[in-house]
């Protein structure tokens, strides 16, 4: 395939070298004449393991060249990859001026081209950038329509400096955000030999996936450092602790807990985070990440309350209010806080959770209900139908299987607030999900 790559920096040079090595015909484009000359001489403009040899071989075999001429590159390629920089502005926002300029130039060249062309953004951009910067610039300067006359994709890169060539050929995943299936199909051909999962999705989802990755990596580093600092203060080897932590691939290093939804609760997580915060304070330590966990959790409770209140209904039904499905434990259940807020504001409530049956509760749970939240026990309904026949706003509070059909069974005038995504891909005027 014929590919033009705009921006011969780190990502662009690695992409150019690897694609040319794979047998594609590659044209590199950069306004910096020195970079263009280096590529044409078979010299890599960046320092990276293996890429120097790859650039030299590709230039020698005439499958890689570079130019200052945008029109030449676009006219003589099927796919254009945008790999220019998106540096930070002083306020933290991204400077997309390089992206905008390149897309304007590509758009002007597309005006002269009749064949279907795909523009692929590999530059890291915040969600919405494709729709507000890339596509408008291409359409304005080409006079054509994205998704119809030409294709547009977002294809985030997952390259680490020092191991970029290895990462290119061994990615954890390949993500293609596409405006149309034709563009996605064409781009997908470049990754046909990759064994990693290939995900095709909307451009906004692809844009955000890159930020989720990098922010999570940053969180992991900060978390390990804060645990390590606490360990050192207590005379514990932080590396040994984190080595044990990383042995758990069922919960710690896994998809578990990684689904957006409502706040955490229960008898362990809030208590143990609180205790670790206290330990840090007692040692005069500043642990900003750990100290932010409970406030962040509280914001999610407040968001849930706001969603319920904004529906404008006075009769509220709560389906599932133990801290998670399959348990009768109400201790530090975030739903209990929601219920108490609504009671205090004068809302009429009915609650149902088959596992929370006052007659069956014993021990700590019985004591908690009788002595801490007796007012809640008086609102408990004996069946789910009782709640559904009463409520104007129905809140799904945990993922018990019996609640899965509720969104499909609501009546006119009722609305569902789903805090757990009881079933995937629901939408509509009568349905609202907390993170989707």
CA distances from 203 to 138, 155, 207, 276, 330 (A): 15, 9, 6, 40, 41
In degrees, rounded to 5, the angle at the alpha carbon of residue 62 between the alpha carbons of residues 58 and 63 is: 60
One of 83, 231, 268, 435 is an active-site residue; which one? 268
Q: Is 334 marked as binding a ligand?
A: no
Q: Is 331 marked as binding a ligand?
A: yes
Q: Is 259 marked as binding a ligand?
A: yes
Residue 21: strand, helix, or coil: helix
* Residue showing tokens 């801490």: 372
Q: Is 60 marked as binding a ligand?
A: no
Q: Is 30 marked as binding a ligand?
A: yes
Q: Is 193 marked as binding a ligand?
A: no
- Using CA atoms, how far apart are residues 301 and 305, in angstroms rounded to an integer? 6
Q: Is 271 marked as binding a ligand?
A: yes
Q: Is 324 marked as binding a ligand?
A: yes
- Using CA atoms, how far apart are residues 175 and 212, in angstroms rounded to an integer? 13
Residue 339: strand, helix, or coil: helix
Q: Is 173 marked as binding a ligand?
A: no
Q: What is the maximum span of the chain, computed from C-alpha positions, in angstroms?
A: 83
Q: Is 150 marked as binding a ligand?
A: no
Residues in CB range of 323: below 8 A, 6 or more apart: 264, 265, 266, 329, 330, 331, 332, 333, 334, 335, 398
Q: Is 258 marked as binding a ligand?
A: yes
Check if the beta carbon of residue 199 is closer than 8 Å to that of residue 175: yes
Q: Is 65 marked as binding a ligand?
A: no
- Using CA atoms, how far apart are residues 21 and 59, in angstroms rounded to an integer? 10
Supply the DSSP symbol for 434: S
Check if the beta carbon of residue 395 is closer than 8 Å to that of residue 317: yes
**Residue 231 is a catalytic residue:** no
Q: Is 240 marked as binding a ligand?
A: no
Q: Is 261 marked as binding a ligand?
A: yes
Residues in CB range of 125: below 8 A, 6 or more apart: 86, 94, 96, 99, 133, 134, 154, 207
Check if the beta carbon of residue 29 is closer than 8 Å to that of residue 76: no
Q: Is 411 marked as binding a ligand?
A: no
Q: Is 295 marked as binding a ligand?
A: no
Known binding-site residue numbers for NAD(+):
30, 35, 86, 124, 161, 271, 331
Known binding-site residue numbers:
30, 35, 86, 124, 158-161, 210, 257-261, 265, 271, 324, 331
Known binding-site residue numbers for substrate:
158-161, 210, 257-261, 265, 324
Which residues are known catalytic residues? 268
């Amino acid at each position: 395939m014929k590919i033009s790559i705009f921006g011969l920096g780190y990502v662009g040079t690695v992409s150019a070298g690897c694609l040319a090595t794979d047998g594609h015909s590659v044209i590199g484009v950069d306004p910096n004449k020195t970079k263009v000359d280096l590529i044409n001489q078979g010299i890599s403009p960046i320092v990276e393991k293996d890429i120097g040899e790859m650039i030299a071989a590709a230039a020698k075999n005439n499958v890689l060249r570079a130019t200052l001429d945008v029109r030449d590159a676009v006219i003589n390629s099927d796919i254009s990859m945008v790999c220019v920089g998106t540096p930070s502005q002083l306020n933290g926002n991204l400077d997309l001026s390089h992206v905008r300029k390149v897309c304007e130039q590509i758009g002007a060249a597309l005006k002269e081209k009749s064949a279907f062309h795909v523009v692929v953004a590999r530059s890291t951009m915040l969600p919405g950038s494709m729709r507000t910067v890339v596509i408008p610039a291409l359409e304005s300067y080409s006079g054509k329509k994205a998704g119809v006359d030409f294709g547009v994709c977002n294809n985030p890169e997952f390259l680490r400096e020092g191991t970029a060539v290895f990462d290119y050929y061994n990615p954890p995943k390949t993500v293609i955000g596409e405006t149309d299936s034709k563009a996605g199909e064409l781009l997908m051909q470049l990754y046909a030999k990759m064994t990693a999962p290939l995900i095709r999705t909307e451009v906004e989802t692809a844009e955000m996936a890159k930020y989720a990755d990098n922010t999570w990596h940053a969180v992991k580093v900060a978390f390990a450092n804060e645990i390590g600092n606490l360990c050192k203060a207590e005379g514990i080897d932080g590396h040994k602790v984190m080595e044990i932590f990383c042995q758990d691939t069922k919960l710690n290093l896994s998809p578990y807990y990684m689904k957006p939804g409502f706040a955490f609760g229960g008898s362990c997580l809030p208590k143990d985070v609180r205790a670790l915060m206290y330990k840090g304070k007692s040692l005069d330590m500043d642990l900003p990440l750990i100290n932010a966990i409970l406030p962040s959790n509280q914001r999610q409770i407040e968001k849930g309350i706001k969603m319920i209140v904004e529906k404008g209904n006075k009769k509220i039904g709560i389906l599932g209010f133990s801290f998670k499905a399959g348990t009768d434990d109400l201790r530090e259940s975030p739903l209990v806080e929601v219920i108490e807020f609504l009671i205090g504001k004068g809302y009429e409530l009915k609650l149902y959770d088959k596992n929370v049956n006052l007659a069956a509760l014993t021990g700590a749970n019985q004591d908690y209900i009788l002595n801490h939240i007796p007012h809640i026990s008086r609102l408990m309904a004996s069946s789910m139908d009782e709640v559904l026949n009463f409520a104007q706003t129905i809140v799904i509070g945990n993922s018990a299987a019996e609640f899965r059909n509720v969104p499909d069974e609501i009546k006119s005038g009722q609305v569902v607030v789903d805090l757990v995504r009881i079933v995937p891909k629901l939408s509509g005027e009568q349905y609202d999900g907390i993170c989707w």
